[in-house]
């Protein structure tokens, strides 16, 4: 559903569509106010009548007030830098309009035949108004261009968000894990990433944006199970060697499914990009014995290495139809024993530091 821009008479809290007609009107009015201000300076230079100048000023005042009120309402709902800049620039236009009106009122009380000192040839200081108006015009033009350029990014992000919601629903529908497994692993991933950064590891990679992206991408780690037959996916007993090979294919399938979306918003930091790395690499092992490619060490994407530990920990401590959940201590000991073989040693070190938080997450989001 295409969202619309809110104006003063509408309810707040909905998503802003930068290409919506109300914003286009505001942008056009902002440009019109500048043109009228510039026209006013020309009228002053050529000695237009006082009545005409006041009429133009009143029109500028009405339009400026309208644009300013709507701009402030938008700025309250959306903390976008181009909007804030545009609002500040409009405020400056209103201030200059008030200043000009004050000059006209004061000057009109002087000699009627030579009513405006700026019209006298020897006193051309009125041209000083052209300087701030010129700067305002450049600023407003830049802000409007930024806003409408941002619209393309917003549309891509909205498309990506809708696709991720659909894929998340598909992943949950086909996964033999519970919905809470997704929530728990999301939190495990975020805590591990934050702890790694706190410990001074992978600082350049683990920016705030990257960690937020990992959190959003984590639920798609097993999306490839859409390609695994039901009789294998839902089998309670031990899988045969042939069935296990089919089950293992879900990593490559997930990578292929996500890659087919061809959405690259955010480049290497985009949610889909991270989801591709996680889906295709969370069963790789540090020593190169994992699948599907047998990658080893830092050749495995960091996002996949973090997801691998979070996924295994949750699998160990959770009850399943075919097993009872391990204790937290046993699960941590098992993971520590595989540091440097299955798991990145630095990620294991982060788990050790995050044990209490892991226990809280497991308890808070336990399966009913």
H or E element that contains 345:
helix 345-353
Same structural domain, 311 and 181: yes
**Cα gap 228→246, rounded to integer Å:** 7
Q: Identify the residue with better confidence: 214 or 81.
A: 214
Report the pLDDT averaged over residues 163-187. 73
Same structural domain, 233 and 353: yes
Residue 108 has pLDDT above 60, yes or no: no
Residue 130 has pLDDT above 90, yes or no: no
- Name the phi and psi angles at 46, rounded to 5: -95, 10
Q: What's the pLDDT score for residue 118? A: 43
Same structural domain, 99 and 135: yes
Same structural domain, 198 and 82: no
% of residues, the chain, pLDDT over 70? 60
Answer yes or no: is 11 within a domain: no
Same structural domain, 110 and 196: no
Residue 155 has pLDDT above 90, yes or no: no
Answer yes or no: is 166 within a domain: no
Same structural domain, 137 and 238: no
> How many other CB atoms sit within 10 Å of the CB of residue 20?
16
Answer yes or no: is 119 within a domain: yes
pLDDT band at 242; cut points 50, 70, 90: very high
Residue 356 has pLDDT above 60, yes or no: yes
Considering 37-51, 123-137, 309-323, the range whose residues carry the highest mean pLDDT is: 309-323
Domain count, the chain: 2
**Cα gap 187→362, rounded to integer Å:** 10
Q: Which of 121, 153, 185 is the last residue of a domain?
A: 153
Report the pLDDT averaged over residues 288-294. 96
- Looking at residue 189, the DSSP 8-state letter turns out to be H
Q: What is the pTM of this model?
A: 0.60
Same structural domain, 249 and 346: yes
Least confident range from 72-76, 187-191, 278-282: namely 72-76
> How many other CB atoms sit within 10 Å of the CB of residue 236?
8
Answer yes or no: is 15 within a domain: no
Answer yes or no: is 14 within a domain: no
Answer yes or no: is 76 within a domain: yes
Please give the residue range of the domain that contains residue 70: 21-153
Q: Average pLDDT over the chain, rounded to whole? A: 76
Least confident range from 106-115, 195-204, 240-249, 331-340: namely 106-115
% of residues, the chain, pLDDT over 90? 37
H or E element that contains 280:
helix 271-281
Least confident range from 2-11, 56-65, 176-185, 228-237: namely 2-11
Residue 244 has pLDDT above 80, yes or no: yes
Cα 188 to Cα 146, 329, 335, 347: the distances in Å are 37, 16, 14, 11
Answer yes or no: is 40 within a domain: yes
* Helix spans in 12-80 (H): 21-45, 50-77
Same structural domain, 118 and 39: yes
Q: Which of 153, 188, 213 is the last residue of a domain?
A: 153
Q: What's the pLDDT score for residue 22? A: 57
Residue 87 has pLDDT above 80, yes or no: no
Same structural domain, 253 and 315: yes
> How many other CB atoms sit within 10 Å of the CB of residue 74?
22
Answer yes or no: is 37 within a domain: yes
**Cα gap 142→51, rounded to integer Å:** 34
H or E element that contains 136:
helix 130-174
Q: What's the pLDDT score for residue 7? A: 34
Report the pLDDT averaged over residues 222-239. 86
Q: What's the pLDDT score for residue 178? A: 57
Same structural domain, 213 and 108: no
Residue 279 has pLDDT above 70, yes or no: yes
Q: What's the pLDDT score for residue 6? A: 35
Same structural domain, 114 and 226: no
Residue 249 has pLDDT above 80, yes or no: yes
CATH of the domain at 351: 1.10.3210.10
Same structural domain, 203 and 305: yes
**Cα gap 339→360, rounded to integer Å:** 23
pLDDT digit string (tens) for 208-228? 999 999 999 998 898 888 888
Give the relative orientation of helices 179-198 and 355-364 as an angle to the nearest 10 degrees.
Answer: 160
Residue 72 has pLDDT above 90, yes or no: no
């Amino acid at each position: 559903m295409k969202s619309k821009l809110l104006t003063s008479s509408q309810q707040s809290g909905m998503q802003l569509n930068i290409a919506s007609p109300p914003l286009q009107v505001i942008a056009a009015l902002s440009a019109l106010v500048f043109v009228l201000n510039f026209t006013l300076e020309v009228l002053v230079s050529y000695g237009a009548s006082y009545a005409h100048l006041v009429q133009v000023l009143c029109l500028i005042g009405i339009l400026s007030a309208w644009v300013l009120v709507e701009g402030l309402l938008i700025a309250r709902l959306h903390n976008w830098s181009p909007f804030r800049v545009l609002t500040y620039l409009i405020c400056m236009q209103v201030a200059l309009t008030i200043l000009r009106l004050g000059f006209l009122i004061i000057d009109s009380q002087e000699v009627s035949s030579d009513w405006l000192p700026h019209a006298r040839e020897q006193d051309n200081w009125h041209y000083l108004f052209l300087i701030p108006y010129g700067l305002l015009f450049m600023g407003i033009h830049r802000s409007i261009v930024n806003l409408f350029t941002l619209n393309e990014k917003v549309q891509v992000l909205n498309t990506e968000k809708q696709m991720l919601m659909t894929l998340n629903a598909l992943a949950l529908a086909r996964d033999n894990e519970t919905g809470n497994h997704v929530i728990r692993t999301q939190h495990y991933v975020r805590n591990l990433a934050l702890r790694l950064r706190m410990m001074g590891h992978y600082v350049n990679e683990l920016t705030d944006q990257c960690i937020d992206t990992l959190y959003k991408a984590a639920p798609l780690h097993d999306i490839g199970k859409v390609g695994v037959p039901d009789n294998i996916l839902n089998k309670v007993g031990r899988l045969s060697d042939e069935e296990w090979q089919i089950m293992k294919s879900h990593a490559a399938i997930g990578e292929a499914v996500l890659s087919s979306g061809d959405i690259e918003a955010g480049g290497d930091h985009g949610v889909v990009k991270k989801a591709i790395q996680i889906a295709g690499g969370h069963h790789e092992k540090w020593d190169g014995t994992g699948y599907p490619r047998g990658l080893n060490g830092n050749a495995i994407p960091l996002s996949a290495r973090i997801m691998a530990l979070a996924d295994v920990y949750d699998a160990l401590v959770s009850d399943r139809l075919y097993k009872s959940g391990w204790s937290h201590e046993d699960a941590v000991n098992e993971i520590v024993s595989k540091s440097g073989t299955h798991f990145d040693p630095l990620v294991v070190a982060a788990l050790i530091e995050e044990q209490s938080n892991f226990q809280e997450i497991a308890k808070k989001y336990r399966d009913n």
